């Protein structure tokens, strides 16, 4: 079994839920017949390894050379950490960073935590994209902070509610590791 198939299998076992009736409420408020609780995959040792390697290999395949990788906390965090760790093992380190959902009220009040600074090239990641709302917020906050967003990589694109197109409207190319079609056969 290749890495991609192994990740699909883990997600099916731990993170993918489906129902014949739309019963899963999404962030958008819509009800769906399926749901991805990706933290059960991205926070497991094997899942982290597969995610880190597959996303790192996607970055290399695309010819990107980012200084950092991150996204909106909390879905993006384990993805960014896994890629950062794997990149270090491969002797091509990429710094992980976290984008806060709201401003920090104490200390330095930083919107972004990690070893990135203005002018750095970054890849924004997310675990699942539906409408693209969280990813769009991450891209906008990264740009406001002075980061140069080279691309967005998502683990699973649900292929609905124009998520990919909404993100691409910001001028960022979007790439996926998996799509809904890897879990539910496409309708003809």
Q: Tokens 């980012």 appear where? A: 66
Give the pLDDT confidence score for residue 70 in this predicted structure: 98
The band of 96, judged by pLDDT with boundaries at 50, 70 and 90, is very high
At 160, the pLDDT band (50, 70, 90 cuts) reads confident
pLDDT, position 85 = 98
82 within a domain of the structure (yes/no): yes
Rounded Cα distance between 186 and 173, Å, is: 23
Q: What single-letter DSSP state applies at residue 142?
A: H
CB 158 within 8 A of CB 30: no
Q: Is 156 helix (H, G, I), strand (E, B) or coil?
A: strand
* 4 assigned to some structural domain: no
Residue 120 lies in a domain: yes
Number of domains in the chain: 1
Question: In CATH, what number is assigned to the domain containing residue 94?
Answer: 3.40.50.2020
Q: Which residues of 137-161 are buried (b: 16+ CB within 10 A; e: fewer)?
A: ebbebbbebebebbbbbbbbbbbeb
Rounded alpha-carbon distances, angstroms, from residue 136 to 11, 98, 149, 186: 24, 14, 11, 26
What integer is the mean pLDDT of 155-176?
95
Give domain status of residue 91, yes or no: yes
Residue 27 DSSP code = T
Asked whether residue 169 is domain-assigned, the answer is yes
Of the pLDDT bands very low, low, confident and very high (cuts 50, 70, 90), residue 3 is: very high
Rounded distance between C-alpha atoms, residue 50 and residue 47, angstroms: 5
The Cα 33–Cα 31 span in angstroms is: 7
Q: The domain containing residue 74 runs over which residues?
A: 51-182
- Under DSSP, the state recorded for 186 is P
Please determine, for residue 188, whether its predicted confidence score (pLDDT) is greater than 70.
no
pLDDT per residue over 98-145, tens digit each? 999 877 677 667 789 999 999 999 999 999 999 999 999 999 999 999
- Sign of the four-CA dihedral 85, 90, 47, 83: positive
In this structure, the strands spanning 34-36 and 16-18 are antiparallel
- 151 in a structural domain: yes
Mean local confidence (pLDDT), 143-155: 97
In a domain, 36, yes or no: no
Predicted confidence (pLDDT) at residue 187 exceeds the cutoff of 80? no
pLDDT digits (tens, 9 = 90+) for 25-79: 888 888 999 999 999 999 999 999 999 999 999 999 999 999 999 999 999 999 9
Tell me, yes or no, whether 134 lies in a domain.
yes
């Amino acid at each position: 079994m290749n890495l991609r198939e192994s990740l699909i299998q883990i997600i099916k076992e731990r993170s993918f839920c489906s129902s014949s009736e739309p019963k899963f409420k999404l962030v958008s408020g819509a009800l769906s017949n399926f749901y991805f609780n990706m933290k059960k995959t991205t926070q497991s040792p094997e899942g982290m390894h597969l995610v880190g390697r597959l996303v790192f290999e996607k970055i290399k395949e695309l010819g990107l050379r980012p200084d950092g990788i991150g996204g909106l906390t909390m879905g993006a965090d384990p993805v960014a950490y896994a890629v950062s760790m794997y990149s270090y093992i491969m002797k091509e380190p990429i710094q992980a960073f976290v984008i806060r959902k709201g401003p920090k009220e104490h200390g330095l009040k930083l919107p972004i935590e990690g070893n990135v600074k203005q002018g750095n090239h970054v890849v924004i990641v997310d675990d699942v994209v539906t409408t693209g709302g969280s990813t769009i917020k991450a891209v906008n906050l990264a740009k406001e902070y002075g980061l140069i967003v080279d691309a967005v990589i998502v683990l699973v694109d649900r292929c609905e509610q124009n998520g990919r197109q909404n993100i691409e409207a910001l001028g960022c190319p979007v790439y996926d590791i998996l799509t809904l079609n890897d879990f539910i056969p496409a309708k003809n």
